[in-house]
Amino acid sequence: MRFHYRLPFGAEVQSGGTTRFRLWAPNQPSVSLVLGDPAAPPLPMQPEGGGWFAIETADAPPGTAYHYRLGDGLLVPDPCARAQASDAHGPSIVVDPSAHDWQSGDWAGRPWEETVLYELHTGTFSEEGTFDGIRRRLDHFARIGVTAVELMPVADFPGRRGWGYDGVLHYAPDRAYGDPASLKRLIDEAHGRGLMVFLDVVYNHFGPDANYLHVYARDFFTDRHDTPWGAAIDFSRRPVRDFYIHNALYWLEEYRIDGLRFDAVHAIVDESDQHILHEIADAVRARIGDGRHVHLVLENDANQTRFLGDDGYIAQWNDDIHHAFHVLLTGEAGGYYTDYADRPAERLGRGLAEGFIYQGDPSRYRDGERRGEPSSHLTPTRFVGFLQNHDQIGNRAFGDRLARLADPAALQAAQAVLLLCPQIPMLFMGEEWAATQPYFYFCDFHDALADAVRNGRRQEFAKFPEFADPAIRQKIPDPNAAATFDASRLDWPTHSMADRMAAMERIRRLIDLRCELVVPRLAGAHPGTARAWTNGAFTVSWVMGDGAVLTVVANLASEEAEGTVTPAGRLIFESAPGLASRGVPARLPAWAVLWYLEIPDGPG
């Protein structure tokens, strides 16, 4: 089976053996196509009106390198290229999408309730740092019970190192990771093993280097709004909206991606009658239909629930419960953790039961500004929970993982809460074996931009007391250094050490228990009810879709806690043998977790 999503722009191989090229360049009087050698005679493209230029030629078969030449002679890559010859500044490559013969082309995905996510960065997950490097380790995910691999952004960015959030060519997998065929092989073989593949996409900004749209399509951007990362996208323009709508459909159809995670949508400002996020969701549902499970997930720091709906976005990342977990496990109370430092168990209980902790509540960290929208009416599966992710580790000065910050018993207790609760859980690469190496922010900029990023990052931490001394800040790793990237690469040889294998076995057992007892009851599950005992101990109960009651009793503190709640049902998990036999209510030891399931009587 072969899949080709036909784009209305870029380089499209036609059935008759020709290739059509189409570019939106409203700020150019003329545009030409240059095939192969940049010094080759340019082929004038024909204006179509509305800023569009096009040409169809038989001289550009698959594999042909090409540029667009602007009116002033500047050569630029295709913003919709399916592949680059080398890097984002260089020539684009004509690709025939139908060249890959899919072995799992009839794969229809998996229901959302079965999702256990595993976020990874392609360049640092494996020794190879490529799509093939991930593909060769697909059995690892199956062994621990993960059902969905989530790739951090792979859109082409300048240089060989980067998180992916500075991408500039949204249709081209970065050449450092492999060509389009190698990404398709990864997805194809993942599907053959029953694994979904999600992709992180960035629709709120472009990276600061190698984005040539400013030269020939200034109307792509607007100065009416700002983003923390550069010029805001002007979603009032039809070509701009179509660029992103087709990009989502392209990944879902041509690459058979099972789900998209939309980065930082709070930074997408769209004052149109229909918000671009709604239009993307509508286009996906109309195009994909009911034959496949395709999942759209948001990251939204504003805690807005307005985009969540049965016909749109299925879930949203839940930073709130991460922050509450982190305070309980580490005691940190600086920065945004300020909002979770008082009554952390009560706050975590609310987040597990109702989704967001801040549902329109005033935020001390934000100087009293109210944050969030009500979420207590939503089913728990509308939220993706996690203890760690790329942001929460990599945006620390020294890339500290929880395995270095928290007591091992504390981390294990938090994992037992996360992996059995009705929210959709996510692990970050290496978390399953309690990896202790850092995960840094890294990039591959040069000259003045490299200096600005390096110095800006160090200056960010100046407001923290522990980094007040400039000499201390100088020790923060340089994001542009190759050594920073290398230090972030997973150390696979350590994962076979006895203690790491034991950590993986704990994760596997928890996921197995989730699949057996929780997943079958998730559809139609109700929001929970929570009660805090102390600053570290709490109870949360949920009525599941089949009427069963799932209850967690946990003490995420280093001191013993006394409780007053007696859960019903049978014990399905205890963090230490014999823990439940001590009785609840009674004294709950430090870092203790108990799960109970009460199943209603069946007919007869």
Main-chain phi, psi angles of 334, to 5 degrees: -90, 170
What pLDDT shows up at residue 436? 95
Burial class (CB in 10 A: 0-12, 13-18, 19+), 496: exposed
Interatomic CA distance for residues 229 and 202, integer angstroms: 12
Average pLDDT, integer, range 234-262: 98
- Is pLDDT at 383 greater than 80 in this prediction? yes
DSSP 318-366: -HHHHHHHHHHHH---SGGGGGGSSSHHHHHHHHHHHS-S-SSEE-TTT
Segment 460-480 shows an average pLDDT of 87
pLDDT, average across residues 538-558: 97
Token pair in block for residue 595: 């799960």
Query: Rounded CA gap, 309 and 352, in Å?
Result: 20
Structure tokens at 445: 């900029």
Query: Is there a catalytic annotation at residue 263?
Result: yes
Residue 591 Rama label (left phi>0; alpha psi -120 to 50; beta) = left
* Mean pLDDT of all residues in 165-172: 97
pLDDT tens-digit map of 10-45 = 999 999 999 999 999 999 999 999 999 999 999 999
Across the range 383-396, mean pLDDT stands at: 97
In the block, residue with structure tokens 């709004």 = 225
Mean pLDDT of 258-271: 97
* Closest to 50 (Cα-Cα) out of 71, 32, 74, 23: 23
Taking the C-alpha atoms of residue 492 and residue 140, their distance in angstroms, rounded to an integer, is 11
Considering only 411-420, 455-464, 507-516, 568-577, which range has the smallest mean pLDDT?
Answer: 455-464
Positive or negative CA dihedral for 543, 544, 547, 549? negative
Residues counted in the chain: 604
DSSP states along 476-530: SPPTTSHHHHHHTS--GGGGGSHHHHHHHHHHHHHHHHIIIIIGGG-TTPPP-EE
- What b/e string do you get for 36-48 counting C-beta neighbours within 10 Å, with b at 16 or more? eeeeeebbebeee
Dist CA 292 CA 337 (whole Å): 39
Between 567 and 588, residue with greater pLDDT: 588
User: What are phi and psi for residue 327, nearest 5 degrees?
Assistant: -60, -45
Mean pLDDT in residue range 321-338: 95
Catalytic one among 87, 174, 179, 263?
263
Residues 140-150 have a mean pLDDT of: 97
Position 583 confidence tier, pLDDT thresholds 50, 70, 90 = low
More confident of the two residues 195 and 310? 195
Phi/psi for 132 (5° steps) reads -65, -35
Query: Is-contact 522 115, C-beta < 8 A?
Result: no
E runs forming strands in 486-555: 529-532, 537-543, 549-555
Structure token digits, residue 316? 């949203």
Residue 317 above 90 pLDDT? yes
Q: What is the mean pLDDT of residues 223-227?
A: 87
In this structure, are residues 278 and 312 in contact, taking their beta carbons and an 8 Å threshold? Answer: yes
Backbone phi, psi, residue 512, to 5°: -60, -45
Distance CA(339)–CA(189), nearest Å, equals: 43
253 is catalytic: no
pLDDT tier for residue 564 given thresholds of 50, 70 and 90: low
CB atoms within 10 A of CB 568: 10
Q: State yes or no: pLDDT of 468 exceeds 90.
A: no
Contact 385, 426 (CB under 8 A): yes
If you average pLDDT over every residue of the chain, what do you get?
A: 95
CA angle 256, 112, 325 (to 5 degrees): 115
540 and 353 Cβ atoms separated by less than 8 Å: yes
Peptide bond just before 408 cis, omega within 30 deg: no
pLDDT in tens, 493-506: 988 889 999 999 99
Of the residues 12, 119, 299, 478, which is catalytic? 299
* Residue 462 Cα distances to 52, 143, 203, 213, angstroms: 47, 43, 30, 34
Quick one: 424 exposed, middle or buried, by C-beta within 10 A (0-12, 13-18, 19+)?
buried
Please give the distance of CA 119 from its chain centroid, rounded to a whole number: 7
Give pLDDT, residue 603: 45
Mean pLDDT of the 303-308 span: 95
3-class secondary-structure state, position 95: coil
Token digits of residue 237: 């323009």
State how far the alpha carbon of 203 is from the alpha carbons of 109, 167, 216, 264, 299, in Å.
24, 10, 19, 8, 11
Q: What is the pLDDT of residue 604?
A: 32
Mean pLDDT in residue range 353-382: 97
* Phi, psi (deg, nearest 5) at residue 187: -65, -45
Identify the weakest region by mean pLDDT among 169-173, 422-426, 448-452.
Answer: 448-452
pLDDT value of residue 10: 98
Which range among 338-352, 427-441, 451-465, 514-528 shows the weakest confidence by mean pLDDT? 451-465
Give 365's contacts (C-beta < 8 A, 6+ positions apart): 335, 336, 338, 339
Instruction: Identify the bridge partners of residue 338 per DSSP, sorted by sequence position.
Output: none
Q: How large is the average pLDDT for residues 124-132? A: 98
**Cα distance between residue 261 and residue 298, in whole Å:** 6
Percent residues over pLDDT 70 in the chain = 98
pLDDT digits (tens, 9 = 90+) for 66-85: 999 999 999 999 999 999 99
Tokens of 405: 């910050």
Nearest to 534 by CA among 343, 354, 351: 343
Per DSSP bridges, beta strands 148-151 and 92-93 are: unpaired
Task: Classify 360 in phi/psi space as left (phi over 0), alpha (psi -120 to 50) or beta.
Answer: left
